[in-house]
Structure 1
Amino acid sequence: MFKFHIGSYFEDFVLWLKDNFDFIFDFIKNILEGSIDGLEALLNFLPSIVLILLIGLLAWKVTSKGVAIFTILGLLLIDAMELWQATISTLALVLSSSLITLLIGIPLGILASKNDRFDRILRPILDFMQTMPAFVYLIPAVLFFSLGKVPGAFATIIFSMPPVVRLTNLAIRQVPTEVVEAARSFGSTSKQMLFKVQLPIALPTILAGINQTIMLALSMVVISAMIGSGGLGKVVLRGIQEYKIGLGFEGGVAVVILAMILDRITQGFGDLNKNK
């Protein structure tokens, strides 16, 4: 029977990238490492109670008093469980990865909405990125960047990018044709059309994509801990490896609280935009 394994070809391709473009991966590593460490240092600059109150105030402004109370109580519980530092590490990793993902993903979505050929090329790539098991991304990530936070961030960026690209593309394509024609009839340039007409109308859907990106990035916490990214994922992983049920449960609760807070706040920004 005919046999054909593509794994060896992929391995050769990855090793070729490593041998010939190591300087690019070093550059990427420096950017990711600098952004994660910088954000983590910024978050650690404030005492935990001050940061908790600031996040609670943000939740109140963009959502409701109930969400703000939950945010403050949830973060106080995390602090009481002595998981604050791990939470800050996780938050820095998630926010840094999400920001880089958005800086890449939103322009790709805009370009795909403007060019049908590019959209057709991009769609199967996004399918591949979205359906490939997350563990698979860790293999080349470790080879390119060794162990630590950077390969975790790299794998997170790849895994969490498809939603924001797809929803940005969809949102701009769904802008009513009559609105576009009206703007064009008033002499709008392509740049004005994009930034003053299409993006403002598409923003609620784009914000939904941003929300999904952040949630997917957070879902990579435990997986990326397997390659040394630390944070709450490391706490959960220790609970599994050392059969410490209580420790693993506390780490899991902290991840859930953080996920709910980020979800409600990002949804709140979307609701604020709809009400304008």
Structure 2
Amino acid sequence: MVGAGPAADARWALIEPVFTQWRSGRTGPGVAARVHDLRETVNAILNVNRTGIPWEYLPPDFPPHKTVYDYYAKWEAGRHHRAGPRSAAGQDTPRSRSCRGTVGRRGGCPEREDLGKRGRDQPGHRRGEEDRRAQAQPAGHGLSGFAEMQEARGSLLELVLDRDDTVVTRVTTEALLRRKDSAGLATVASALAVADLNHGVWIHTAVVDVFSVFSHDRDDAIRLCEELLQDADERVARGARQLYELLAGIDPVLRPA
């Protein structure tokens, strides 16, 4: 959960300003007053992610399940809107009802099957990984939807390069890459340029996970990296070169007929 312990408090401090800004922008006719604590709403999303229960079975000490799902659905819709429509093969479209109970947990939806096992299969990382991913999910996954905002970039880089938990690195990197746009790739490139070996392995694993399935996704990302090679930020350009080389070494499973 986000809600307990110094590490959780520090992580919440990273993402709270962006979520609060997003909620403050939702004003006007038809928008209900804010009566539920934002942190508890995120905790409720985490509870669904960790347990896999349907939204309507949320324990009563959380905000109402309809409110919680409304927040989750709007964050998801905003993330996909920024990433652009990719309806072919059902990618980056809102999840089906059968997948909603897992809030993006790998294995909850067939189209999210994990193909990159390098980092995950290292000794000591398999046990308890789902719980750690559940803690990282709202921070990395939710905040990635705001990657084009200057206010969010510093926090996203801190999450990608999290010193305490490389699962946060992987979850945040995956979320940024699944945007499939320049903002997400630029953030990952900026982190990759200064990542140590350990974080570099997890970023590499996330790249393989996201771009090993569809060749058009991999090819689009390569084109975006070519553009980022000319970025005015030298760190972004340097990381884009590394990201380009990673992508060029991937042989996607599915190619056009």
Q: Report the TM-score, using the length of structure 1 for normalisation.
A: 0.29
> Would you tell me which structure has more helix in proportion to its own residues?
1
Larger radius of gyration: 1
Relative contact order higher in (CA < 8 Å, ≥ 6 apart): 1
